[in-house]
Structure 1
C-alpha cells in the first residue's frame, strides 16, 4: 500500500512538472527539486554547522513561490521562468540578511545566473540581462545596508556554513547543467520559433 501511494505521489508530481516547452519543463523540475530539499536545509545546518538553526527557517518563506512555478508556467511560460528566478534571487538575498556576510550564501546566485542565461530564448534577451543584473545587484548590495544577522556564528561555524552552501549551490548548478544537456536535442531552432508564439 505504501509503495503504491509513493508511486501515485511521484506520478502526480511528474504530471505537475510536465510541460511541452523543454525550458519550462526544466524550470519546473528545478523548482520542485528546491522545494523537496528546503525542509532538509535546517537538518544539514544542524549536522554540519551548529545546533542554532533558527535563521534557516526564513528560507521557507520562498517555498510557496518555488512550488507555484509549474502552475504559473501553465498560465505563461515566461511568467513561470521569471518566477523561478525571482524566488531564487529573493531567497538568496533573504538568507544573506538572515545569516550575515560571512555565510557564503551568495554562492546561490551562481545557479540563478546559469538559469538566467539558459532559460530564456534569443528573443527574450531583455529578461536574461535583467535577471543577470538583478543577481549582480543582490551580490553587490553593501553589507552596511543590511540588518544584523539573526545569529552570530563562530568563525569555524561560518567556515562550515560556507562549505555547506558551496556544496549545495554547486550540486544545484550541476543538476541544471545536466538537465539542459540531457534535453539539448529538444531545445532547437524549431523550439525557438514555437517559443516566440507561446511565450
Structure 2
C-alpha cells in the first residue's frame, strides 16, 4: 500500500505546476497516458477481436507523457506539445482505422483545449492550434492511405460509439478541470501574472 502511495505522490508531483493552465494540461496528458493501454481492450470488448490497429496509438504515448517535463522547461511549449500530440494521435488513429471509425471526434477536445489553454496574450497560439485541428479534420482520406484493417459495418458503428463515448468523457474531464481552476485562471489573467506565459 505504501508503494502505491509513493507512486501516486510521484505522479502527483510530476503533474504539479504553479500555473493553473499548466496543471490542467499536465493532468489531461497523464489521464490520456493512463488510458491508452486500455484502448485495445475497449476495442476488443466493444468492437472486434482484431485490435492490431489500436496498437499504433502507443506511438503517441511518449509525447503525452513528456508534457509535464516540457511544461517545466517552457509552459507555452508544454501546452503546445499536448495539442500537437492530441491532433497527431487523432490523425494516426484515422490512418489506422479509416474514416468510418469516427475517430475524428477526438478533435473536439483538442479544439476545447486550444481555446482554453492559452492566455489572452497568446491568442495567436490558441487560434493557430484550433486551425490545425480543423485542417486535420479536412485532410483528405487519400493522403493517410488505406486502413490497416477493414472492419464490418456493424463493427464500425460500434467503433464510432466507443470513440464518441471516449471523446465525450475526455471533453467532460477537461471542462471539469477548468471549472475547478477558474478562479485562479481568471485572477492570473487579470493581474498579468506571467508564471505560465
- TM-score over 0.5 for the pair: yes
Instruction: Give 1:146 shift.
Output: 2.4
1:194 is aligned to: 193
1:122 is aligned to: 120
**1:133-177 per-position Cα deviation (integer Å, ceiling 9, x unaligned):** 100000001122221000000000000000000000000000000
**1:89-112 per-position Cα deviation (integer Å, ceiling 9, x unaligned):** 000001000000100000000000
Cα gap change, 1:198 to 1:23, in 2 (>3 Å):
closer
Alpha carbon RMSD of aligned pairs, Å?
Answer: 1.0
User: For structure 2, which runs of at least 5 residues remain unmatched after alignment?
Assistant: none
**1:12-65 per-position Cα deviation (integer Å, ceiling 9, x unaligned):** 000000000000000000000000000000000000000000000000000000
1:60 is aligned to: 58
Distance, in Å, in 1 between the alignment partners of 2:188 and 2:168 is 31
Distance, in Å, in 2 between the alignment partners of 1:184 and 1:198 is 15
Q: How does 1:1-199 map to 2 (within 5 A)?
A: 3-191=1-189, 193-195=192-194, 198-199=196-197
Distance, in Å, in 1 between the alignment partners of 2:52 and 2:83 is 25
TM-score under structure 1 length normalisation: 0.96
Which range moves more in the overlay, 139-148 or 17-26? 139-148
Distance, in Å, in 2 between the alignment partners of 1:164 and 1:177 is 20
Distance, in Å, in 1 between the alignment partners of 2:142 and 2:62 is 30
Instruction: Give 1:183 shift.
Output: 1.1
- Give the secondary structure class of the aligned counterpart of 2:193: helix
Distance, in Å, in 2 between the alignment partners of 1:181 and 1:171 is 15
Contact 2:102 2:163 in 1 (8 A): yes
TM-score under structure 2 length normalisation: 0.97
User: For structure 1, which runs of at least 5 residues remain unmatched after alignment?
Assistant: none
Pairs aligned (count)? 196
